[in-house]
Amino acid sequence: MERARPAQDEQTHRTEQWSTVKRLQWPSWMPIDPYILLLLGTVGLAALFPASGTGADVASGATTAAIAFLFFLYGARLSTREAVEGLKHWRLHGTVLVCTFVVFPLLGLAARGLEPALLTHDLYTGLLFLTLVPSTIQSSIAFTSIARGNVPAAICAGSFSSLAGIVLTPLLAAALLGNSGGGFSPDSLVRIVLQLLVPFVAGQLLRPWIGAFITRHKKVLGHVDRGSILLVVYTAFSEGMVQGIWHQVSAVRLAGLLVVEALLLGVMLLLTWYGAKALRFGREDRIAIQFAGSKKSLASGLPMAGVLFGAHASLAVLPLMLFHQMQLMVCAVIAKRRARDPEATGPAGPDQPSGTGGATGTGGGSGTRGPAGAGGTAGSARSRVSPVATSRIAVGTGTRSG
Q: Could you report the average pLDDT of every consecutive run of 10 residues in the chain (402 residues)?
A: 46 48 47 71 85 83 83 77 68 94 96 88 91 88 87 84 86 78 58 78 87 83 79 79 70 90 96 96 94 90 80 78 88 88 54 39 38 37 39 41 54
Amino acid sitting at position 189? L
Number of other residues whose CB lies within 10 A of the CB of residue 40: 14
Amino acid sitting at position 5? R
Read off φ and ψ for residue 88, nearest 5 degrees. -60, -25
Alpha helices in 217-250 (DSSP H): 218-243
pTM of the entire predicted model = 0.70
Instruction: Provide the pLDDT for residue 180.
Output: 56
Read off φ and ψ for residue 339, nearest 5 degrees. -65, -25
Amino acid sitting at position 38? L
Q: 286, 277 in Cβ contact below 8 A?
A: yes
Amino acid sitting at position 127? L
Instruction: Provide the pLDDT for residue 241.
Output: 76
Instruction: Provide the pLDDT for residue 82.
Output: 62
DSSP string, 100-135: IIIIHHHHHHHGGGGTTTTS-HHHHHHHHHHTTS--
Mapped onto helix, strand or coil, the DSSP state of residue 180 is: coil
C-alpha 159/C-alpha 289 separation (Å) is 13
C-alpha 214/C-alpha 96 separation (Å) is 28
Instruction: Provide the pLDDT for residue 268.
Output: 97
Q: 211, 72 in Cβ contact below 8 A?
A: no
Instruction: Provide the pLDDT for residue 325.
Output: 82
Mapped onto helix, strand or coil, the DSSP state of residue 366 is: strand
C-alpha 313/C-alpha 316 separation (Å) is 5
Q: What angle do CA 48, 54, 60 make, to 5 degrees?
A: 80
> For residue 44, with 0-12 CB atoms within 10 Å meaning exposed, 13-18 middle and 19 or more buried, which class applies?
exposed
Tell which residue, 16, 390, 341, has the closest CA to residue 147. 341
Read off φ and ψ for residue 102, nearest 5 degrees. -125, -60
